[in-house]
Amino acid sequence: MKLATWNVNSLKIRLQHLTDWLHSAQPDVVCLQELKLEDVKFPRDELAAVGYASVFSGQKTYNGVAILARSPLNDVQMGIPAFVHEHKRVIAATVDGVRVICLYAPNGQAVGSEKYVYKLQWYAALREWLKDELTRHHQLAVLGDLNIAPEDRDVHDPKLWEGQTHVSEPERAEFRALLDLGLKDSFRLFEQAEKSFSWWDYRMVAFRRNAGLRIDFILLSEALAARCTSCAIDKAPRKLERPSDHTPVVVELS
């Protein structure tokens, strides 16, 4: 079973990239973020035509999350139950016995800003919810754009980023709190190249300079981590014309 996450930065613009990638990568489950479209505009039929069922929670212009799967998606839940908010950042569903949670974490804008405070509140609510979810679902995967670079090795230039959002200590503490629930960062279960990133700024030819961050993750419960045989970042879609600024992360489970 192959699970993937990809922040597409507008599904409307990236639909062709997505369907091409589904064809070449052959994932069983894909979590998408930053759809930037209303549910009535979600390309359900186009995705069904290439073999994927979908559940989605979108809104105009901002945010928006979806799960695609080749098997039926059951017990769909949108949002964090105890954190009611208009932002569409969370969707969950069960596929082939695996509880799949798709997340688009708040950006946080700048340390100390209102949006930063909201980001930390969102993470506090997420942590409590996932703690509960892990008692209900043995086989649980959390996939998405978490907007935190957990360690300095996940940052192209830690000195440049020092004290910025995505790397601040309270954000990193929230990431570690997810690991403390028993979730594993699947990427770090395996040997990886140095300077492996999942996002690169559109500006300053950042991709060519590999000036990126690793902020997209697949976290696995212990039962799923035991089944995990690989985790990789697929940089190919970032090299296309008009790419998303993020690229897919993929795990394989036995």
How is residue 44 written in tokens?
Answer: 């359900």
- Choose, from 116, 123, 145, 185, the residue flagged as catalytic: 145
- Could you say whether residue 106 binds DNA (CB under 7 A)? yes
Q: 50 or 160, CB closer to DNA? A: 160
- Could you say whether residue 165 binds DNA (CB under 7 A)? yes
Annotate each residue in 5-44 with x if it binds DNA (CB under 7 A) or - if it does not, as one string. Answer: --x-xx-xx--------------------x-xx-------
- Could you say whether residue 60 binds DNA (CB under 7 A)? yes
Q: 171 or 185, CB closer to DNA? A: 171
Contact predicate 115/108, CB 8 Å? yes
Rounded Cα–Cα distance for residues 28 and 177 (Å):
28
- Could you say whether residue 152 binds DNA (CB under 7 A)? no
Is residue 131 packed enough to be buried (19+ CB in 10 Å), middle (13-18) or exposed (0-12)?
middle
Contact with DNA (CB under 7 A): which of 94, 147, 186, 221? 147
Rounded Cα–Cα distance for residues 73 and 43 (Å):
17
- Could you say whether residue 239 binds DNA (CB under 7 A)? no
Annotate each residue in 81-100 with x if it binds DNA (CB under 7 A) or - if it does not, as one string. Answer: --------------------
- Could you say whether residue 138 binds DNA (CB under 7 A)? no
- Could you say whether residue 195 binds DNA (CB under 7 A)? no
Q: Is the dihedral of CA 228, 230, 233, 235 positive or negative?
A: negative
Rounded Cα–Cα distance for residues 19 and 51 (Å):
10
- Choose, from 28, 52, 104, 154, the residue flagged as catalytic: 104
Report the alpha-carbon angle 212-142-2, nearest 5: 85
Could you confirm whether 145 is annotated as catalytic? yes
**Binding residues for DNA, per CB under 7 A?**
7, 9-10, 12-13, 34, 36-37, 60-62, 106-107, 109-110, 115, 145, 147, 157, 160, 165-166, 199, 201-204, 206, 209, 211, 213, 215, 242, 245-246
- Residues marked as catalytic: 104, 145
